[in-house]
Structure 1
Amino acid sequence: ELINPLNSRSKRPPRPPNGFLLCRKNVHKEARLKGFCNMRVISKVTGMLWRSATQEEKESYEKLSVQVNQLHSQRYPGYKYRPTIRPRLQAIRPYVAPPINPEVLTALPTQIINNNQQPVAYPMYYPDVVEFQFPQFTQEELALLSCYLF
């Protein structure tokens, strides 16, 4: 009961629990018996209880974790913790407009400049901008962006 069962998805043995996790399991069991199952609140309460616990209370859970580790090593001989290294997402660079050639700015029609009108960005004056394409995003980058867009 103190050791979680084998994870069916990854077929890897679970990590043995430390003293805090055993304390959390105990608090969760008591809360469930009293009809309270909000895991977020249970985790916060457990953290507060653990921080305010005396050294003797913490040591009792740590001693229990040593016993559970021995049971764990009997159930899963040769177990060694090997964390899965997940690939990091590359930082998505913000869109930066391509540099405008200064020669293009001098090529604007003189009547627009002389009349103090706002220049219009005609494609023939900005060939670099017309040919520019937005970068293609991978599925991971799109998933990350969707958190900010929706």
Structure 2
Amino acid sequence: MIPTLAGRLQTRIFVLATVGALLTALVVPVLPGRPGSLGTAYRTAFLMLLAVMAVGLVWELLYHLLMQFRWDKDWPTLFGLVTMVPEGAVMWLLLNTGLVPGVGDHVSASMFVTMFVVVWLGQWLFLNGPMRVLSVRWRLRGGRLL
């Protein structure tokens, strides 16, 4: 079954809150160009993750609209991976213009790119592998978890 809008939203929140949070916690100590202390770096990284989640919900609305023009109403798997580029560009723009609340200092490009790519690839790989095994009916329920 094709993921429904509700399923896509639920899945994005769930995966970023679990896999994304775990990967963020693991990668922060080794991030290049991290700001100040380790505590500040964790705060900045988790605020960035929260911003990615919030902006990602808006992206899902746009993706849902765009999918209505496809005959099968779904993205090929490669399109799901390539969406990392526009989402990352928008997040970088939001961070650099100060539109992400709580992230006061300028975030270095190396910190942002490392964290964004690790979290994005981690969640994409999880969705295309373990998620299909751990929740066999997930796809059959249109991606809904609840």
TM value normalised by structure 2: 0.25
Q: Answer with 1 or 2: which has the greater Rg.
A: 1
